[in-house]
Amino acid sequence: MTDAVLFDARPDGIAIITINRPDQRNALGKDVRDGLFAAWTRFEADPALRVAILTGAGETAFCAGGDLKEMVERGLQVPPRDMFPLPYDSIELTKPTIAAVNGVAFAGGWMIAQACDLCVASTAARFAITEVKVGRGSPWAAPLIHMIPQRIMMEIILTGKPITAQRAYEIGLVNRLAEPAALMDTAIALAREILEGAPLSVKAGRETVMLATEMGRAAALQAARAAHEFPYRSEDAQEGPRAFAEKRPPVWKSR
């Protein structure tokens, strides 16, 4: 890892990934992009880590987006598919992720927050898809239609104007709001709720949500049944009911 992106592998199974360029509003310069690619790869490869939280250093910005100066210097036109480290897109991940948005999440900052499974936001955070303001594009925003209503999505993209964290919560973009000082505690609490579940069931549940956004009803049901076959047949599927009957916490083995 580099100092542009910090990686904290906690003993409780939570990884905290921090974009550490507060003086640059945590913009997605090359050092940050490289650091995020390395961080996500490390998270996925470590079986002891089950949930990741992505956040930004400082109180001003989660991530202000791409490095516009770099784009000018490179004469960048269409960004290469592998330029930005997007969970579940350019980065293959099978585990849940949470964006802990501590400040502005503009353009590419919105992009990487949107790519995470869940989002916790500081009440001081703001969100915007600002590409129309600088003549760039936001094709990555297409999956947003599965998260918020069409007319709201249209206004956000066409105007490029920011929305508050409260508004983001109201339209369903954000799962939980927290005062700035409580942001990470809130994100960690959400991660711990996920950790309480059986790992194989959590994985299959996440796959079901994604399948349901990509398929029709009948196809999604069939695919979801296949995704849950493994957890149903696992040792954990027997341990859960046994622990409930014995009135004790379950001991998950991921098998």
Residues 53 and 36 in one domain: yes
pLDDT attached to residue 72? 55
* CB count in 10 Å sphere of residue 218: 8
| Number of folded domains that form the chain | 2
Give residue-wise pLDDT tens across range 123-141. 999 999 988 887 777 888 8
Mean local confidence (pLDDT), 2-10: 93
Q: Which residue is listed with tokens 């350019």?
A: 90
Question: In this structure, are strands 14-19 and 5-9 parallel, antiparallel, or unpaired?
Answer: antiparallel
Residues 106 and 186 in one domain: yes
**pLDDT, averaged across the chain:** 89
Residues 150 and 73 in one domain: yes
Is 252 domain-assigned?
no
Structure tokens at 78: 């269409």
Residues 168 and 187 in one domain: yes
Residues 205 and 186 in one domain: no
pLDDT attached to residue 81? 67
pLDDT attached to residue 71? 62
Is 251 domain-assigned?
no
Report the alpha-carbon distance of residue 187 to residue 251 in Å, rounded. Answer: 24
Domain span including residue 209: 199-246
**CATH code for the domain in which residue 130 is found:** 3.90.226.10
Mean local confidence (pLDDT), 91-100: 95
Mean local confidence (pLDDT), 62-85: 69
Residues 174 and 221 in one domain: no
Lowest mean pLDDT among 41-45, 73-77, 193-197, 225-229: 73-77
Residues 117 and 205 in one domain: no
Mean local confidence (pLDDT), 168-183: 97
Residues 135 and 209 in one domain: no
Residue 143: in which H helix or E strand, if any?
Answer: none
Mean local confidence (pLDDT), 29-44: 94
Q: How confident is the model at residue 87 (pLDDT cuts 50, 70, 90)?
A: confident
Report the alpha-carbon distance of residue 141 to residue 101 in Å, rounded. Answer: 17
pLDDT attached to residue 54? 98
